């Protein structure tokens, strides 16, 4: 019973903050609502016993939102309190796309019985965070390090682009 209540709490926070992203005209507030949405998704992953996905959700996506705010807004000398005013044509296109996606998802859900996916339920032989970390630092060390070098290059490029222009 408690798990059901917590699920609906996370789901309500996720839906509410997603709607707040749509309605907010301030880019910083939109980013904060996005942070709440991503945090709620991490909570849902925890309820599914997907601890690694929850940690990655918080570290990569929620942490990425904070980096987005710092590099994308604060360091580019743009006003962080910039208010976005969409045009009527943009709103119309967004509504049409949202309706098409919603109809597609609902029709896929009610299309028929979903086949059972083997291994979709948590089991004792599932990988733990320790096993995933060990394989990342042994078997997959080279791709892991290449991704870290790529991310470092992206951060250096963002800092270079955000620097003030000398005249």
Q: At what angle do helices 129-137 and 141-162 cross, to 10 degrees?
A: 80
Predicted local distance difference test score (pLDDT) of residue 142:
92
- Do 134 and 65 fall within a single domain? no
Which neighbouring-strand residues pair with 26? Answer: 83
- Do 102 and 138 fall within a single domain? no
pTM beyond cutoff 0.75: no
Q: What is the full DSSP assignment across 45-113?
A: HHHTT-HHHHHHIIIIIIHHHHHIIIIIIITTT--TT-B----HHHHHHHHHHHHHHHHHHHHHHSSSP
- Do 45 and 17 fall within a single domain? yes
By the 10 Å C-beta count (0-12 exposed, 13-18 middle, 19+ buried), 38 is classed as buried
Ordered per-residue pLDDT tens for the chain, 167 residues:
999 999 999 999 999 999 998 888 777 788 888 889 999 999 999 998 888 889 888 888 888 777 777 666 666 655 656 666 778 898 899 889 999 999 999 998 888 787 777 766 666 666 777 888 888 889 989 988 998 898 888 878 877 776 666 66
- Do 83 and 164 fall within a single domain? no
| Counted domains in the chain | 2
Give the range of the structural domain holding residue 136, as residue numbers without chain letter.
127-167
């Amino acid at each position: 019973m408690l798990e059901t209540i917590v699920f609906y709490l996370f789901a309500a926070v996720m839906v509410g903050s997603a709607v707040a992203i749509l309605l907010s005209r301030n880019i910083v507030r939109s980013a904060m609502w996005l942070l709440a949405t991503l945090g709620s998704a991490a909570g849902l992953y925890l309820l599914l016993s997907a601890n690694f996905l929850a940690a990655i959700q918080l570290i990569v996506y929620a942490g990425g939102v904070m980096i987005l705010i710092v590099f994308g807004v604060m360091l580019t000398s743009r006003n962080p309190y910039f208010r976005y005013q969409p045009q009527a044509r943009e709103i119309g296109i967004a509504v049409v796309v949202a309706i098409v996606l919603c109809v597609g998802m609902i029709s896929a859900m009610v299309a028929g019985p979903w086949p059972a996916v083997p291994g979709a339920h948590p089991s004792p032989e599932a990988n733990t965070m320790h096993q995933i970390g060990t394989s990342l630092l042994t078997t997959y060390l080279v791709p892991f390090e290449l991704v870290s070098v790529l991310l470092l290059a992206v951060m250096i490029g963002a800092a270079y682009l955000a620097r003030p222009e000398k005249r």
